[in-house]
Structure 1
């Protein structure tokens, strides 16, 4: 590792990591940000309803944050940053909101005043392309309320090029964000990538909004779609679906406006997160190949602050990610920056439970890899089973009922009941945990629990059970953190704990970019 020119890869969400991004950018420009594309709230929800595709809100948020103003064209860059960050009003009449949008797309809005003609027409061209796609779907009545101009631009560019990464490249080129700074979607796709959560009580929440921040008008106990209706209605609660006998004024998007600070607790703790298709079935996407490449080349891995289950884990549960992190030839530091306060997803959590959740997610990533490899090696028998009329819809089962809470904190933490020991023979391993809950032949991926379906039993020795220290080497936490940190227990796992002083101007625990920068620089120069 070059201590004078380190490189970072950062798994993060959108807004939470934005205010500490300078901690990394001030050290080096060689920073790769990996962001999930599964958010279905706010302006993005309306784009998904009308146009489909990946969620680009967090990508746009990070890209605009990285626009620098230390160049000769500072006035123009600030103007472009303001344009890409601008949102149409969230209240007022629909006609007045549309009128402001038309001023922007026509090039007559004051936001264009400080932008050169060539860049103005380039940006406006993709806004026009976006508007054209909306007009083609006028019967769906796109709602411009709270709409993000940056989101509209990225969507227009993605549709024009047929590539999300091409749209990101165009945004970076126009705004002056140059390599070696990268902003990568965790999955490189033109399709939607939705997530779901299963709670400890068995309840399933579909979509990031329902998990993290339900819409202000949404029904907390919205029913799932009957499978018989799956081809006429998306299997997503609160999806604004219009039938032939409904008038246009009854279309409602409950995810368009939401509050991240609303005190609406989950009915039960989250057991696990998984990806699903539009009919609610679990899927196992491949990650963006560039993410794996960066994990094998970078020096410093950061699990950033943000929503644990909806911002961080969608990056980690992807196939090959767990193996890339645990076996990276280059990663020297794997640092978890602990949130300062709990949120709806992590109410009552301790630092040990953050570590437990990340460990289990990355072990699950490797479990999916192991299942895929095993059944690929048994392809002849598996192909025969695939053609059998006994093959049920969920015969390639999703491990939604297996817990995956192998690295819990000691009592009296309420969510976990087992202890981690360095000697696996004296602890309940993940394999034993799975066998206990599912029977001797019902390892996730075996399909043995499905009636009428026979498959080669998945060997228990292939189930990954790596310890937390394989994925996390350091825990950074605030001295006034509202999330309990049991330092001796964490360091007993082989993870070094580093306290930092938070922002002094507020009583709320909050990181500052300067403090984190100094901490990272000390780590880079240390001999540990």
Structure 2
């Protein structure tokens, strides 16, 4: 009699790429699948929500929840299909803005044909959050929200988050509406926050790209460089204006110096306010230089170290199989891995028996000319960076503890001290990675006037030892028709078992994963 626990999966994934193989997970012996998604996307419909309302990006969360309706296939009634059509609907992109706003009015007022097959109680439940969203947009009418290409599902999630004050509560409401709460499948944001989350990429040539869209899908409006190179880095904020809420929004020409005609033109130009609203995922411009690392930044451009959603660590400590999904390596996967506690949670998990990397079938703008080894090294480096951040924090904490012990026995002699008085409050924050901005860093974290400057000793190199690659990845699945070079011998010497599966071909001739073959492959791994 087999008393072993059934298979369970925790999947680090992005948006549309993982959606393609979603059925493969749910055709296995178990439906216990948790999808961990980043919330840093700042392109498309999400970018307009971020510009006007702020908050976390919900586009990938909405996309995954809608896709799960098909994968779980438990609610195929006429009404559930209508709800799916409504929450996956996008407002037109090819009409003038006024006509788009008119269609939005039909939806929010409950008069659009999309409501026809939805019962009155569910209609009013959904419409309640849409009207709240609309109210918040009206309160910010001066920002002129652009409804073009807007996702109704994104609007619902945003309205629910604003009403409850919780991103996870909004996800729960969305999942309840579409009927996927009765199975052990869940969608979890890697960071549980109501704030906007921004990532940046440091290139090996020293250049910095800010925001997911600029890294992976630059706006077609931005000028292109010669030889198909990437768009130029956006201009950094002048330090004089860094902390001012009245910073000049038009660079060299302020509203007070513009004549009425110029002002009207600027305010009526819908596209001027948000270059990230329209972009192409098929952009093939190469970056000027390979990406060195991905990190999180605050509104002042300083590196920060977010804490992951506690549920993420909980799932990594309970599930049996970890999967690094296909998708954008540096903007979908790695933002999940560099968070504090993630590296340790994966390497020290007692439940994870298999840690599987699904290798992409092709490279994209972020990974031009990458081999399979490059993917493995990038993931390992990100997880070791997560562990290093934890080690640094523990080191700085130990310094504080030692200082507190010394303070217990220390009686200040104010007559002989150059610092006659200090406050008892110390801001317990590690130094910023931007050494040239050390003084601005102190200002940005809100240091109290009169508080002492805390000088931490340098972090000793012998306080952290990177984990081996095999601590993070045990298996790698790749396609037999993969366009990415795979050196099986070199990879298996690292302690990773390589598994080749039969690939399929997309409509444009690119190698892709086939759901049936993927199910067979993943079951082969977890059952051995």
**TM-score with structure 2 setting the length:** 0.84
Distance between the aligned counterparts of 2:108 and 2:190, measured in 1? 30
- The 10-residue stretch of structure 1 (177-186 or 157-166) with the greater mean CA deviation from structure 2: 177-186
Q: Gaps spanning 5+ residues in structure 1: where?
A: 402-451
The 5-angstrom pairing of residues 378-397 of structure 1 reads: 378-379=399-400, 396-397=431-432
User: Could you say what secondary structure the match of 2:504 adopts?
Assistant: coil
Equivalent residue for 2:235? 223
The 5-angstrom pairing of residues 191-210 of structure 1 reads: 191-210=195-214
Distance 1:462 1:226, change over 3 A: same
The answer to whether 1:99 aligns with 2:98 is no
Distance between the aligned counterparts of 2:362 and 2:298, measured in 1? 32
Alignment deviations for residues 156-179 of structure 1 (CA, whole Å, 9 cap, x no partner): 000000000000000111111124
Q: Is the 8 A contact 1:238 1:253 kept in 2?
A: no
Equivalent residue for 1:361? 382
Distance between the aligned counterparts of 1:337 and 1:249, measured in 2? 46
User: Which of these residues, 61, 64, 67, is aligned with residue 63 of structure 2?
Assistant: 61
Distance 1:18 1:163, change over 3 A: same
Larger radius of gyration: 2
Equivalent residue for 1:444? none
Q: Is the 8 A contact 1:225 1:234 kept in 2?
A: no
Equivalent residue for 1:486? 487
Shift of 1:397: 3.2
Alignment deviations for residues 309-331 of structure 1 (CA, whole Å, 9 cap, x no partner): 00000100000000000000100
Shift of 1:395: 7.0
The answer to whether 1:33 aligns with 2:35 is yes
Shift of 1:29: 1.7
User: Could you say what secondary structure the match of 2:287 adopts?
Assistant: coil
Equivalent residue for 2:441? none
Q: Is the 8 A contact 1:272 1:400 kept in 2?
A: no
Distance between the aligned counterparts of 2:526 and 2:93, measured in 1? 45
Alignment deviations for residues 112-157 of structure 1 (CA, whole Å, 9 cap, x no partner): 1111111111011100000000000001100001100000000000
The answer to whether 1:181 aligns with 2:202 is no
**TM-score with structure 1 setting the length:** 0.84
Q: Is the 8 A contact 1:238 1:254 kept in 2?
A: no
- The 10-residue stretch of structure 1 (32-41 or 87-96) with the greater mean CA deviation from structure 2: 87-96
Equivalent residue for 2:472? 471
Distance 1:292 1:399, change over 3 A: farther
The answer to whether 1:398 aligns with 2:433 is yes
User: Which of these residues, 507, 512, 515, is aligned with residue 514 of structure 2?
Assistant: 512
Distance between the aligned counterparts of 1:497 and 1:193, measured in 2? 35
The answer to whether 1:113 aligns with 2:112 is no
User: Could you say what secondary structure the match of 1:378 adopts?
Assistant: helix
Equivalent residue for 2:52? 50
Equivalent residue for 2:276? 255
Shift of 1:455: 2.9
The 5-angstrom pairing of residues 424-435 of structure 1 reads: none
Distance between the aligned counterparts of 1:338 and 1:3, measured in 2? 29
Alignment deviations for residues 316-361 of structure 1 (CA, whole Å, 9 cap, x no partner): 0000000000000100000000000000000010000000000000
User: Could you say what secondary structure the match of 1:273 adopts?
Assistant: strand
User: Which of these residues, 310, 326, 349, is aligned with residue 370 of structure 2?
Assistant: 349
Distance between the aligned counterparts of 2:456 and 2:506, measured in 1? 61
Distance between the aligned counterparts of 2:217 and 2:155, measured in 1? 22
Equivalent residue for 1:211? 215
Distance between the aligned counterparts of 1:400 and 1:349, measured in 2? 31
Q: Is the 8 A contact 2:340 2:390 kept in 1?
A: yes
Equivalent residue for 2:335? 314
Q: Is the 8 A contact 1:17 1:304 kept in 2?
A: yes
Distance between the aligned counterparts of 1:268 and 1:242, measured in 2? 35
The answer to whether 1:503 aligns with 2:522 is no
Distance between the aligned counterparts of 1:124 and 1:2, measured in 2? 47
The answer to whether 1:275 aligns with 2:296 is yes
Distance between the aligned counterparts of 2:244 and 2:255, measured in 1? 9
Q: Is the 8 A contact 2:191 2:307 kept in 1?
A: yes
- The 10-residue stretch of structure 1 (306-315 or 19-28) with the greater mean CA deviation from structure 2: 19-28
Alignment deviations for residues 19-56 of structure 1 (CA, whole Å, 9 cap, x no partner): 10111112222110000000000000000000000001
Distance 1:76 1:49, change over 3 A: same
- The 10-residue stretch of structure 1 (479-488 or 63-72) with the greater mean CA deviation from structure 2: 63-72
Equivalent residue for 1:150? 153
Alignment deviations for residues 414-466 of structure 1 (CA, whole Å, 9 cap, x no partner): xxxxxxxxxxxxxxxxxxxxxxxxxxxxxxxxxxxxxx995323222222311
Q: Is the 8 A contact 1:127 1:152 kept in 2?
A: yes
Distance between the aligned counterparts of 1:72 and 1:122, measured in 2? 18
User: Could you say what secondary structure the match of 1:254 adopts?
Assistant: coil
Equivalent residue for 1:190? 194
Distance between the aligned counterparts of 1:501 and 1:314, measured in 2? 29
Shift of 1:243: 5.2
Q: Is the 8 A contact 2:24 2:516 kept in 1?
A: yes
Equivalent residue for 2:126? 123
Distance 1:472 1:488, change over 3 A: same
Instruction: Tell me how large the CA RMSD over aligned residues is.
Output: 2.8
Distance between the aligned counterparts of 2:118 and 2:461, measured in 1? 61
User: Could you say what secondary structure the match of 1:358 adopts?
Assistant: helix
